[in-house]
Chain A
Amino acid sequence: MNKLLLICLCTIPLLVGAMVGLTFFSSKAKAQGNGIFVEGADDVSTLITEYSADLINVTKDVTPRVVLEYGDFNSKLDLNKSDGLNQAASIVSERIVVEYADFVSTYGLQCSENLTQTATTVKPRITVEYADFIFSTDLGPKPMEDITPPVIGIPIQDPPPDMVMPYQNVTVSVNITDTESGVKNATLHYNINNTATWIDAVMSYNSTSGLYYSMILGQSEETYVKYKIVAYDNAENMAVENNAGQYYTYTVIPEFPSSLILLLVMLLSVLAVVLAKRKLPRKPDT
């Protein structure tokens, strides 16, 4: 009778634990690995490389050409056009022509971005002939004018992506710097369940920690959240930190993680068995 009771005492919690584990742990575990949600094809994050349609068209039609300019002396422009460039090149005209100068300085500028359309996007070039020496320079940007966007570090999420409970607010902190004009503002943009709407949360600077903070409001169980950070400096340069286009993500897990339940049940079972075995009086040998 005692043996039977002991066996029951051991097996029932194990059984309960196994059932709980099989019920919850197997499915929820998928949502806990570094915030990468892999359940369901629609939710799988992938690297997206963006090509503009115009660029694709252009690169198909552009073929290599040779432009000879600015020899030591008696240099001339020679434009070998591909068929695709015939129309564009016919519209290209010389902007400044200098001949027979002892000292001339210039740059050859040909930076077409969209040659298939028309020559409107072909930047003018400067051709110099018969020159000994050339000097030319770009003007700008203005001194002390900040053209460098802020630098955004890797955000720190609290709680971590695999430990966000239902309706638990999530704090995101990040280091943002701008050595020239300084950081003007930073915003956390987050999205719920891949909907079209992005929610903006202004990030606040903490002078003690030197970090910018914001909060994502608590969401219900199973909610998939992705977020990115956008910062501007005082020269209106913008920087975006979106984890190389994949965003920072997490999925809200059940209030009691199934793994924890399973672990506790197992521990409890072992504990109960040990205690029971110690306290049971031995039957006297007959």
Chain B
Amino acid sequence: MKVENIKMKAGVFLVAILACGILGIYLYNNTGGGNNKILNEVGQTFLLVNPVFAQSASSETTFLQEEAGLSIYVNIGRSIDLAVAKTVYRTIEKETSNYTVGSIALPGLSENEDVHCFVHKDGWIVTYYLKGEPISKIVDWNLWSENKLTKNKLQVGLEQMTNALGVVVTSVKYYHFQYPNANKCMIIIETLDTVGEDSFNITITSELAVYERSWSHYAGDTTTAWGGTTNSYFKIDGNIINSISGEGNPVTKHGMLTVTQLPPNMAHIVSVYNDNAESSKPLYGVCIALAYQEP
């Protein structure tokens, strides 16, 4: 009887040890003690994939670099139906599967004042004037109200596109493709609503790299009731840069200034002149636009 008990106990003990060993091996394998099964299963399927837009973005920015000057842009944060965008254009200038380009007519302005618009299906809208056109062209004198410029032409063009797309844009950015190193743009306006001359002074330090000096000159009326003509002048330091005389009502002109016309490190007087005492549209104005790099 004693021998049987001893045998039985020894058997129980061995069984317990065996069970312990099996359990240990089982747990060891399941806690990752051996080679990792997940890695073995998925390790051979790895791929590197670039998004489609990343591969094609450069060609589109290249297009804008070749085409555009001063631009205003936004990404509306969602995809754009290019068919809707095309309805805004006066003229469709370019079409691809990714983007469209066209001109947008501005209210009350002639066709040569149209802004250009680039719309990408990924949400980008870029409204711009062409490379070589002066920055001052963005000034729409019709939008001068209560002693301020309420909008500019690029903003109006962008607004037309976003309205058509049903989005409200709250923040836009500017960029000048012709001057990639320019990081600032400034517009200075002087107006006159009587007979006479008004001016402002400007000094540009030579420490700034100025990429563009341009101007815009507006004359509301340079004719008289008797069919005569009057004059409006845009002057820098007394020198007439542009004159408008009997050319229609109203008239806007713009152009570039040379460095010698507006050299740095000198105080300059920029003025607008009007001698029409009979004008029914008594607004005359001049604008100086600068693109420059601030260190």
Interface residues of A (CB under 8 A from B): 1-2, 5, 9, 93-107, 109, 123-124, 126, 130-133, 135-145, 158-159, 163-165, 168-169, 171, 178, 180-185, 204-209, 213, 215, 233-234, 255-257, 260-261, 264-265, 267-268, 271-272, 275-276, 279-281
Contacts and interface: CB of A to CB of B under 8 A. Distances in A.
7 contacts: A100-B200, A139-B182, A139-B184, A204-B46, A204-B48, A264-B23, A279-B9
A95 B208 contact: yes
A276 to B, nearest CB: 5
Interface string B2-18: 10011011001101110
Contacts of B295: 123-124
Interface residues of B, number: 83
Contacts of B184: 107, 136-139
Interface in B1-49: 1-2, 5-6, 8-9, 12-13, 15-17, 19-20, 23-24, 27-28, 31-33, 35-36, 38-39, 42-43, 45-49
B153 interface: no
Nearest to A145: B61
Given A104-B200, A135-B149, A268-B19, A169 B205 contact: no
B9 to A, nearest CB: 6
Contact of A132 (B32, B147, B179, B186): B147
B71 interface: yes
Given A96-B186, A135-B149, A206-B46, 14 more contacts: A94-B203, A97-B267, A101-B200, A103-B147, A103-B187, A104-B189, A105-B186, A132-B148, A144-B57, A169-B35, A184-B50, A206-B42, A234-B54, A280-B5
Contacts of B294: 95, 109, 123-124
Interface of B: 1-2, 5-6, 8-9, 12-13, 15-17, 19-20, 23-24, 27-28, 31-33, 35-36, 38-39, 42-43, 45-51, 53-54, 57, 60-61, 64, 71, 73, 120, 124, 126, 144, 147-149, 173-177, 179-180, 182-191, 198-205, 207-208, 267, 270, 285, 287, 290-291, 294-295
